[in-house]
Structure 1
Amino acid sequence: MKIDSASAPRAPSLSPAPTQGVFAALWLPTDASGQLLQAELAENLSFLRQHGVHGVLALGSTGEFPHFDLEQRKQALALVAELADPLPVIANVSDIRPQVVAELGRFAREIGLPAITIMPPGFFPSSQDDLLAHFLHAAESSGLPTFLYNFPELTGTRIGLETVAAFAEQANMVGIKQSGGEFAYHRELIQLGREKDFVVFSGADTRLPEVFGLGATGCIGGLVNIVPELMVHLYEVSRTDKAGDIQPAFDRLAEVGAVLDRLTFPLNVAAGLEARGLHPGAPKAVVSSGSQRLYGEIVDELSRLFAEWELPLGAAAAPSTS
């Protein structure tokens, strides 16, 4: 469905920027031509709401934002904001082009989103000084509270601690999303956040009890799309007064992660969605026959696990609204 972003609804006021909770790094289902599938997206979001997630990140790496042009990204933001309501939606405005970063940030503010997130621009190398300038440009253009987004395995550039500190001192920084293989970096970021008054959200989906124990206040993860109830349970037991045993959910999450790690990201997230009875849509990139076979094997294996664990399928938990 196409949406005229120029006529998207304007919110009279902005909600506070989120500082805690379990956020889905939202998968965006599209058809074979790359157009968003509205009914399928609505069902996926309904599934997430029913399982207690606290919000979503729109157009993040799990959302495969590089596959969308500027107008498609505006359409996606407007549609996700409408369908996710009342959940808060953080807009990823990352791009190699400063003009696109600025336009997306302004659009996020116009439609009433509470915060943006920004990654290093990618492809070309960036100095830490240039990273800081890029991030300040994003924050100033949007006028919104801003999360930095560190995922060096994808962008090719690590956001240094000194750059995070400088940004926190010069901009309205609400937090940072730490993703990728450098788990130990959480400790330094969390300590700096206590000094500079920002929060840390983790992308380490399968290690949530550890990051919450270190002081992270939330997570933004791709696995939230697939097993939200496991991740919400881990958050509630680790971060609130809710009583419960984290070990069964932790073990299951690790098992899901190990199965998915056999396939490359983010195609593996699509396989998990399909196994859960949700809607991944068509692949946005060319997929080899070998990856297609592995995809099918993962869907079958996870489907058996979800049935064994008696996790309800998406269609049962979130009936179609069309």
Structure 2
Amino acid sequence: MTRSIKMITALGTPLTPEEDLHVEGLAAHLQDQLDHGINGFLVAGTMGLMQLLKETTYRDLVAQSVALNAGRAELLVGVGDTSYVRTLERIRMVEGYEIDGVVALAPFFIKYSQEDLIEYYRSLADASSRPLFLYDLPQTTGTKLEVETVLQLAQHPNIHGIKCSDHFVTIRPVMDAIGDEFRVIIAQPTLMDVLLRTGVTEHLDGIYGVVPEWIATMVTATEQEDWETLAAAQQDLSELLRVLQTFSAPLFSSVTSLLNRRGIPGNFAPRPMRPITAAEEAELFELPIVQKIFAGKTVTAADENVTL
């Protein structure tokens, strides 16, 4: 590898029953990632559900993330909202903290043209004292950042990159045109083995928070060109994603159970997401791929420690 591999976890936001920040949960979540070699964080991204949080919880999340991280890993903060003024207000809330950049979704709720988006992002970049990263998530926002739009925005001195959650083929032309001058951070957790083998070195996803040891295995396997181990880890990761996306409980409620079992307290599924039922949780932990996560580990289950 000519460049070091960057694995950025999109952290969940652990909440108390009142949906304030669960500080102990955040500390445990962040430390769990650092312990497994994760070298970047996205706070208040899609996994962190910024748009569902109280303003006070959002402020606390950023402040505590900065304090707990203490400069050990790159720290990006999600700020994207539905309009220029709302997103700018988020930037103003967080830019006084020691963060490495702000990440802005394409504005959602109303459809915007590519010309609108160019003006939106350029104005945000002009106004922000922190590096700005684009965030392409058309599956959620309903708005696609087209290649030509990204290429134009990449010329702005304060727009440093893009987090792309759309399929890799949609961002490949940008990588080919710009090279390393503009960071392209890929969120394709089911294709990581293929992308790592071909030299794509910056990856980001929320699933890393559940299985950081699997991500560490993938990094090591890539560095050692151990493609068999890399492929096996990818198969496990893809199966876990499939299970979580098709399970009867809401995704974030299932993730809450998995993180709690890792010893990370808090609720990662704010209302109106319903909590996982006791029967669903029992079924979840009987699934072979979930048992594989915790095999041989001492985990937290109810009020006792259990070695699985």
User: Same fold per TM (> 0.5)?
Assistant: yes
Please give the per-residue CA displacement for 1:234-291, whole angstroms capped at 9, x wherever unaligned.
23433x4576731332222122112112145444433432344433416312245888
Superposed, 1:125-274 pairs within 5 Å as: 125-180=111-166, 182-194=167-179, 197-238=181-222, 240=223, 245-263=229-247, 264-274=250-260
Check whether the contact 1:179–1:204 (CA below 8 A) recurs between aligned residues: yes
Gaps of at least 5 residues in structure 1 are 1-18, 316-322
Question: 2:27 maps to what in 1?
Answer: 42
> Structure 1 residues 68, 290: closer, same or farther in 2, change over 3 A?
closer
How far apart are the structure 1 equivalents of 2:220 and 2:243? Answer: 25
Shift of 1:171: 3.6
> What residue number does 1:29 align with?
14
1:58-97 correspondence runs (5 A)? 58-85=43-70, 86-97=72-83
Aligned pair in 2 of structure 1 residues 98, 161: CA closer, same or farther (>3 Å)?
A: same
Q: Which residue of 2 aligns with 1:52?
A: 37
SS in 1 for 2:154: helix
CA distance in 2, matches of 1:167, 1:292: 48
1:55 Cα offset (Å):
1.4
Using the alignment, how far apart are the partners of 1:287 and 1:108 within structure 2?
A: 27
Counterpart CA distance in 2 for 1:268 and 1:183 is 27
Counterpart-to-counterpart distance in 2, 1:163 and 1:206 = 26
Kept in 2, the 8 Å contact 1:261–1:268? The answer is: no
Shift of 1:312: 5.8
Give the distance between the partners of 1:287 and 1:208, measured in 2 at CA.
Answer: 29
The one-letter code of the counterpart of 2:246 is R
1:279 matched to 2:265? The reply is yes
Higher relative contact order (CA 8 A, sep 6+): 1
Distance 1:215 1:303, change over 3 A: closer
Do the aligned residues in 1 keep the contact of 2:105 with 2:137 (CA within 8 Å)? yes
Among all aligned residue pairs of Structure 1 and Structure 2, give the percentage whose two residues are the same amino acid. Answer: 23
List per-residue Cα deviations over 1:197-224 (Å, max 9, x = no partner).
2121111123212223444321111111
Unaligned runs of 5+ in 2: 302-308
Q: Deviations over 1:180-205 (max 9, x none)?
A: 4x3422422322341x7212111112
Match of 2:283 among 287, 291, 297: 297
Partner SS state of residue 206, structure 1: coil
Deviation at 1:80, TM superposition (A): 0.9
Structure 1 letter corresponding to 2:205:
G
Amino acid at match of 2:212: P
In the alignment, what sits opposite 2:305? Answer: none
Provide the rounded CA distance (Å) in 2 between the counterparts of 1:175 and 1:292: 43
Residues 127/215 of structure 1: CA separation in 2 closer, same or farther (3 Å cut)? farther
What number of residue pairs does the alignment pair up?
A: 294
Instruction: Quickly say closer, same or farther: Cα 1:235–1:30, change in 2 above 3 A.
Output: same
- Give CA deviations for 1:96-138 in whole Å, capped at 9, x if unaligned: 1323322332343311211111111101001011111221222
What letter matches 1:50 in structure 2? D
Query: 1:65/1:153 Cα in 2 relative to 1: closer, same or farther (>3 Å)?
Result: same
- The aligned amino acid for 2:48 is G
- What TM-score comes out, normalization by structure 1 length? 0.81
For residues 141-174 of structure 1, give each alpha carbon's deviation from its aligned partner in whole angstroms, at most 9, with x where no partner exists: 2222222111111111011011101111124232
Q: Does the 8 Å CA contact 2:10/2:45 hold for their aligned counterparts?
A: yes
